[in-house]
């Protein structure tokens, strides 16, 4: 059948270990990598797989000319804490790391366990985060920032690397700042990039009065937000409506308390979604975008074949996304951090094609074809 293209995804459940919810196990993991960090990340995945089990996923793509079959295991669970018990470096320059780790299958445990959460933040390179929340206060009829202030405090106390609000406010009055507050992700990404932030929280909050009952005013608030990676545009979390409702003898104070409550609910939901997203990446793979400059069609396809061949250790799959005006873009599923992939691409290049890595920002790698 000509030009036939269909994707068949087969999921086979092969549990290596059965477990009940909320259990915490100690497991040993072994990892290999070009760098110590890369080996540790692989060891974490191995520890989760050994402790809590894995299932096998087979992605089969059938085209008119070929059949591609990639079978791999996906770890189920999260590393709470770990310690390196053995470290060595082979004659090929690769590191071998053995760790002992506490692993759990429950997100709530990572949320509540400070050490576990810090381990997760470290594994994600502690991304810098900025907040852009447009707040409408119908009680005081003025511009306020109660929800944003509460979010900043929550994330700072949780250990996030939060960009100083005053630095963000420095863009006030500029077109990008106004557009960002109105939800323009591209404009927000420009501001974040200038401040060195990898993650943006864009949201709105509305404070209103629910009326007066006896001597008490009812303050009401609703807040929503979305969290975006600045380097890839990937949406990490979405919270459509967090609500707060608080009474007080002062109408303004009631509104403030309601805004704080809504912001706290919003923040908890955001953090919970981030834990799920980042823990999945830690246990399985990360999507990394590679931009290749100076490419023509031949180098575009050659580099795609090179990535798909998994010559660089840790690559699970790769997809050519586009080629425009000499700029090629690829999406790579990688077991580890973007630094490890950049290191691998620097040390190994396709036959007949000289590639030089020139930039690294978050989960985005920039390279160029050297003539």
- Report the relative pairing of strands 78-89 and 6-12 from DSSP bridges: unpaired
pLDDT in tens, 96-145: 888 888 877 655 556 566 666 777 777 777 888 999 999 999 999 988 99
Cα separations (Å) of 138 from 10, 71, 150, 257, 260? 53, 56, 19, 14, 15
pLDDT interval class at 292 (50, 70, 90): very high
Contacts within 8 Å (CB) and 24+ apart, 338-342: 338/286, 338/288, 338/362, 338/363, 338/364, 338/365, 339/35, 339/37, 339/38, 340/33, 340/34, 340/35, 340/37, 340/38, 340/41, 340/314, 341/288, 341/290, 341/312, 341/314, 341/315, 341/365
Give the pair of three-digit tokens for residue 322: 């586009």
Give me the pLDDT at residue 106, please.
Answer: 57
DSSP letter at 309?
T
Give me the pLDDT at residue 65, please.
Answer: 38
Total Cβ atoms within 10 A of residue 137: 21
- Does the pLDDT of residue 330 top 70, yes or no? yes
The full set of domains in the chain, from first to last, is 6-123 (no CATH), 128-282 (3.40.50.10610), 286-369 (3.30.70)
Give me the pLDDT at residue 112, please.
Answer: 63
CB 236 within 8 A of CB 228: yes
Give me the pLDDT at residue 75, please.
Answer: 47
CB 53 within 8 A of CB 133: no
Which residues, at least 6 apart from 349, have a Cβ–Cβ distance to it below 8 Å? Answer: 306, 355
- Does the pLDDT of residue 347 top 50, yes or no? yes
For the entire predicted model, the pTM comes to 0.60
Give the pair of three-digit tokens for residue 136: 């409408």
Task: Encode 218-263 in three state secondary structure.
Answer: EEEEEEEEEEEECCCCCEEEEEEEEEEEEEECCHHHHHHHHHHHHH
- Does the pLDDT of residue 10 top 60, yes or no? no
- Does the pLDDT of residue 9 top 60, yes or no? no
- Does the pLDDT of residue 17 top 90, yes or no? no
pLDDT interval class at 284 (50, 70, 90): low
Of residues 261 and 241, the one with the higher pLDDT is 261
Q: Which value, to the nearest 10 degrees, does the dihedral of the CA atoms of residues 169, 185, 228, 285 take? A: -140
Which of these ranges, 120-124, 204-208, 320-324, 354-358, has the smallest mean pLDDT?
120-124
Give me the pLDDT at residue 362, please.
Answer: 77
- Does the pLDDT of residue 74 top 70, yes or no? no
Of residues 313 and 204, the one with the higher pLDDT is 204
Task: Encode 276-304 in three state secondary structure.
Answer: HHHHHHHHCCEEEEEEEECCCHHHHHHHH
Distance CA 371, CA 369 (A): 6
Of residues 198 and 336, the one with the higher pLDDT is 198
Cα separations (Å) of 231 from 29, 152, 171, 192, 314? 31, 22, 20, 10, 21
Of residues 16 and 179, the one with the higher pLDDT is 179
pLDDT interval class at 91 (50, 70, 90): confident
Task: Determine whether 369 is exposed, middle or buried from the number of CB atoms within 10 Å of its CB (0-12, 13-18, 19+).
Answer: buried
In the chain, the percentage of residues whose pLDDT exceeds 90 is 26
Give me the pLDDT at residue 125, please.
Answer: 73
Distance CA 337, CA 288 (A): 9
pLDDT in tens, 349-363: 788 888 899 988 878
3-class secondary structure, 336: coil
In order, the DSSP letters of 72-102 are EEEE-SEEEEEEEEEEEE-TTS-EEEEEEEE
Give the pair of three-digit tokens for residue 253: 């104070």
- Does the pLDDT of residue 1 top 80, yes or no? no
CB 57 within 8 A of CB 86: no
pLDDT interval class at 62 (50, 70, 90): very low
- Does the pLDDT of residue 223 top 90, yes or no? yes
- Does the pLDDT of residue 307 top 70, yes or no? yes
Q: How far apart are the first and last CA of the chain?
A: 40
Sign of CA dihedral 348, 350, 352, 358: negative
DSSP letter at 60?
E
């Amino acid at each position: 059948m000509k030009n036939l293209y269909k994707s068949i995804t087969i999921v086979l459940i092969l549990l290596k270990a059965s477990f009940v919810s909320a259990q915490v196990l100690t497991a040993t993991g072994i990892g290999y990598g070009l760098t110590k960090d890369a080996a540790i990340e692989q060891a974490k995945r191995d520890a989760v797989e050994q402790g809590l089990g894995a299932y096998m996923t087979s992605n089969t793509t059938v085209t008119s000319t070929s059949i591609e079959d990639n079978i791999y295991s996906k770890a189920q669970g999260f590393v709470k804490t770990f310690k390196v018990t053995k470290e060595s470096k082979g004659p090929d320059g690769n590191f071998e790391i053995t760790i002992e780790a506490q692993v759990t299958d429950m997100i709530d445990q990572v949320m509540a366990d400070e050490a576990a959460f810090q381990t997760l933040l470290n594994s994600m390179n502690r991304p810098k985060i900025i907040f852009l929340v447009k707040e409408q206060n119908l009680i005081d009829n003025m511009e306020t920032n109660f929800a944003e202030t509460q979010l900043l405090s929550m994330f700072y106390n949780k250990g996030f690397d939060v960009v100083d609000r005053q630095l963000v406010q420095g863009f006030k009055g500029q077109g990008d700042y106004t557009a960002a507050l109105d939800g323009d992700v591209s404009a927000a990404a420009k501001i974040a990039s200038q401040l060195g932030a990898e993650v943006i929280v864009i949201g709105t909050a509305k404070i209103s009065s629910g009326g007066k009952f006896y001597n008490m005013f009812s303050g009401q608030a609703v807040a929503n937000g979305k969290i975006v990676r600045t380097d890839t545009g990937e949406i990490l979390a979405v919270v459509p409506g967090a609500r707060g409702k608080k009474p007080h003898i002062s109408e303004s104070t009631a509104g403030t308390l309601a805004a704080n409550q809504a912001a706290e609910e919003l923040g908890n939901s955001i953090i919970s979604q981030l834990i799920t997203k980042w823990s999945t990446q830690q246990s399985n793979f990360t999507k990394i975008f590679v931009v290749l400059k100076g490419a023509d069609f031949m180098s575009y396809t050659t580099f795609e074949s090179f990535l798909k061949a998994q010559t660089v250790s840790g690559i699970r799959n790769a997809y050519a996304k586009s080629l425009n005006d000499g700029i090629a873009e690829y999406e790579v599923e990688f077991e580890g951090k973007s630094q490890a992939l950049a290191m691998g691409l620097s040390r190994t290049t396709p036959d007949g094609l000289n590639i030089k890595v020139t930039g690294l920002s978050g989960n985005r790698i920039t390279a160029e074809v050297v003539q």
